[in-house]
Amino acid sequence: MWLLICSAIEGMVTTKEMNQLLPSPLCTKKIAKHPTTRQIYADRLIKEGVCDSNMPDNMVKAFHSEMEDEFKSSATYKPDRADWLEGKWEGLVQSTGEEETKEFKTGVPMEDLLEVGRALSTPPKQFNVNRKIIRQLKNKAKMFETGNNIDWSTGEALAFGTILQEGIQYGYLVRIVEGVLSPNAIRYW
């Protein structure tokens, strides 16, 4: 369906093109007869004795019931002021005048960015990395070398890396670094 919508957005789709996009009727029938991923997984859990035969269906019914109840309650929902910018935010005032226009220097030296960039694009030596990931890491390294095509997520990764490099430890960042990155990469951070 996604392919059809995108094709239609691009321009007119001919009948021949449409037929190429759709699976054949035989394939569609075979897919319809195949159990869903949820059913396959539920059958496996039942077979392994993790749950009884009623539990998967009961979980689905409970989920649907909860979603239906929430949907019905949304018709009468009135937002509480504390849900927005009240409550914990009360007393916080917007900056004005000189205070509002004051600029803070948040940049870091290029050497620091390059060091963090090397850490982001260097896999751990003892790690068996998929060749496609290696290609992505090489592209990322080239991005850092040239300074071109740096996307938003890479910018965020550089920001987090320089924060850690400065010794400011954010709990979840430290756990990510310690749990995922190699000692070689942590050395950069």
pTM for this prediction: 0.41
pLDDT value at 23 more than 80: no
Mean pLDDT lowest among 12-16, 26-30, 62-66: 12-16
CA distance 187 to 91: 42
Average pLDDT in the 43-51 region?
92
pLDDT value at 160 more than 60: yes
pLDDT value at 185 more than 60: no
Would you place residue 32 in the very low, low, confident or very high pLDDT band (cuts 50, 70, 90)? confident
Task: Note the pLDDT of residue 104.
Answer: 76
Average pLDDT in the 128-144 region?
88
Average pLDDT in the 140-158 region?
86
